[in-house]
Structure 1
């Protein structure tokens, strides 16, 4: 895999969890709480829901492309209800959205996000975040780590631009900032993110290893796999 050509890239769209934030450190406690909420007091069911969601109870690691790793609150609610959660889908979705919004207060960044985004913006790049989380949680994260001022676009699963792995989020970003999708680099940590880039016709697909994906799961779909987002700076012209 050779270094990708950034010469035509005018905008970068980032996933949030596992890309801007270290996934296991940030979301391990949140996933446990999500299973606890969905189990509604049934300890045996709680353990089952955690496993079905994709998290290993002993290690705290969440599997690549699992329900917790790639799903929206609505996806997770439907998945947990399908295997036994007694809660109503709308009620559980609302409870999970509220939990995920609170989670911004405990997130662990993958880098100095304010400094990183500031350097990219200084190069004239348009910048956005597209997450399977809700939009309010994305904005709370951007405010907490002081990079909201550098963003040109934010979209969550509830923003009206579709959900991953559909192309809508990237296409909406490209339209909003006035570039062609081929001038956008998509950055993420799982296959859903790479498929967004593929289906939308992104110019580059960049995978990082701070989330649930691995070199083995990401290499077939990405133009390059990096340890973390900071290495993107070394690739810019």
Structure 2
């Protein structure tokens, strides 16, 4: 067996140190990060107390005003006024409906719909058969809709898409008449939803 001895001159050592200093950056290659938008957070994913009433339940409820639909939602307080356009109001989480505070934020298809005095007159523009669902979110942990979620929020979602034909006729006490007609058309490229409603009553005063 033979053995060899190698030596490095000071010049070679200096060149090696220079190469190491210039070559200290390590390239790993190209890293590509891709992301996809998932849309707004669904109500069922909000970390709070949530109830959802489906349209199959709502369209069968015989109510005179849309705020009465919330009788099916647990923990919701209904305050009745019977004052024309301000017929009633909903509240929960320690608030009642008698003050002028927007404790519960009302949304119709995600659009804020409280009036400036804290009431909910626009709620009665929606009829039961027009609704796809009602979402009730309690608590202040829902940051999707901004301010005025003091007690929480409710979102009334109307029908979008689908092929359907629905009709409802109702006659009741005090000569109350109501008609609701709903139609949906959907193809691969477009959707149309139509709704017509009429309601009239002679009215009455309790204990009169």
Report the TM-score when normalising by structure 1. Answer: 0.24
Taking structure 2 as the reference length, the TM-score comes to 0.26
Considering Cα pairs closer than 8 Å and 6+ residues apart, tell me whether 1 or 2 has the greater RCO: 1
Q: Identify the structure with the greater strand proportion.
A: 2
Please identify the structure whose Cα radius of gyration is greater: 2
Q: Name the one with the larger helix percent.
A: 1
